[in-house]
Amino acid sequence: MPAFTTRHLCSVAAALALTVTAPATAATAAPDSPAGLREVLFVGNNWDGTADVIRSSGDFAKLGRINVVPDKEERLAEIHANPVRWAYFMAIRNSVGEGHDQFVDDMYSTPDGRSVVVSRPSFADVVAIDLATGRINWRFPVSGYRSDHMAVSPDGTRVAVSASTANTVHVLDITTGKQLGSFATGDKPHENIFTKDGAYIWNMSIGDVNTALDAPWLDWTKGDRRITVVDARTYRQVKVIDMRERLDAIGLGDHSDAVRPAAFSPDESKLYFQVSFFNGFFEYDVATDKITRTKTLPKNPATSEDRTTWVNDSRHHGISMSPDGGKLCVAGTMDDYATVVDRATLKEGPLVTTSKPYWATVSGDGRSCVVSESGTDQVTAIDFATGKKTVSVPVGDHPQRVRLGHVEAGWTGPSTR
């Protein structure tokens, strides 16, 4: 299939509603879980090598914990036996890992609620963990030396994972781990998003976030950062969106074009996205292919202005939208707050103090934004209606991704503690 032009993309959007919703950034789960299953939130504790399972709404109480590295000694032995793999393993620890190994980046449950599929950056793989036994059902080593963000297809049967050092996305059968296809991306693929009908995948590449070349005039050194859209059946590229051109068009040439977390409006006409180094977000109109609004959020006076101190080029990292599309929830990572923003006016609500919030998702009942506080090892719920904190729940070491999923009714383990 030939590459789309903007005109083609708009035509398809009009004819087929070819726009995007971000997995786990909108409350897309049905109100009632499938028979025999319970809706939960999975919280990936990146440095701990565990995933906590908590209630998806209400008091968000902890139900159980999963060890996502039951094969840790075996994997470490392989790494130490291979000098190249060991070098990358140590580079991940000392750069993106902030001195720690990265054992869980992302996770999704299988449709039957019997397994959770986890990307493990330091081990450069994806595994399916049996929720009853804690054992590995299957393992898929990604290309290169690091796995990253994932996305699950609307029907729950396919999972896409970024292989960040290989500039590749693999698409796997979520039940068997068999590769169904793969495609090339820009530098350091990050977020993956399936369209609602499962026909297309969008990938955002963020470039080299681990260098100290962080001054605005050195932004060009960060690599090829773009959104790549592919056909999810053929895995052929159909569209490339370079936000550099869109930012330049509105006079923001000093802003990074590395698209980080994103959330789409319920009608899928607008994309709200964060970029490296920016304390705020942008609104992008899919039909016109233009950035239509910019929202700059408050700076924390205590936050250093030295951009090299910001983790992995992030300033704000995490954005979600209420199910009715009226509110956005933003994790102000380096500014140590989260806030609910009115989508119509872009006016922010109270700045809720949080410690290095790393992700924002929506509770199962759609009433709350749930942010992971990687600095204090807890998740915090913020009411969309009031913008105020309702509850915080302790989890493991350095929580990052939080995803809605399912476990079998009555599930309470396995537990590593």
pTM of the model: 0.90
**pLDDT in the model for residue 414:** 85
Residue 301 has pLDDT above 70, yes or no: yes
pLDDT in tens, 303-340: 999 999 999 999 999 999 999 999 999 999 999 999 99
- Residue 22: the pLDDT is 36
Q: What pLDDT does residue 30 have?
A: 39
The model's confidence at residue 399, banded by pLDDT at 50, 70 and 90, is: very high
Distance, in Å, from the CA atom of 381 to the CA atom of 205, rounded to the nearest integer, reads 29
Q: Are 229 and 240 in contact (CB under 8 A)?
A: yes
- The string of pLDDT tens digits covering residues 235-283 is 999 999 999 999 999 999 999 999 999 988 988 899 999 999 999 999 9
State the pLDDT at residue 21.
Answer: 36
Q: Which of 249, 341, 193, 263 is nearest to 26 (CA)?
A: 263
Which is more confidently placed, 407 or 266?
407
Mean confidence (pLDDT) of the chain: 91
Buried b (16+ CB within 10 A) or exposed e, 99-131: ebbbbbbbbbbbbebbbbbbbbbbbbbbbbbbb
Q: Calculate mean pLDDT across residues 201-207.
A: 95
Q: Which amino acid is located at 261 in the chain?
A: P
Share of the chain above pLDDT 70, in %: 92
Instruction: State mean pLDDT over 382-386.
Output: 98
pLDDT at 230: 96
Phi, psi of 170 (to 5 degrees): -100, 140
pLDDT at residue 415, rounded to an integer:
54
Q: What is the pLDDT of residue 197?
A: 85
Q: Could you say which of 3.40.50.300, 2.60.40.10, 2.60.120.370, 2.130.10.10 is the CATH number of the domain covering 6-408?
A: 2.130.10.10
Whether residue 15 is predicted with pLDDT greater than 90 in this model: the reply is no
SS3 content of the chain, % helix, strand, coil (to 5): 15, 40, 45
| pLDDT at site 32 | 59
pLDDT computed for residue 11 by the predictor: 35
The structure tokens 């895995």 sit at 235
Q: Is a pLDDT exceeding 50 seen at residue 291?
A: yes
The model's confidence at residue 344, banded by pLDDT at 50, 70 and 90, is very high
Assess whether pLDDT exceeds 80 at residue 148. yes
Average pLDDT over residues 173-182: 98
Residue count of the chain: 417
The H-or-E segment that residue 91 falls in is helix 83-94
For CA atoms 173, 175, 176, 177, give the dihedral sign.
positive
Where do the domains of the chain lie?
6-408
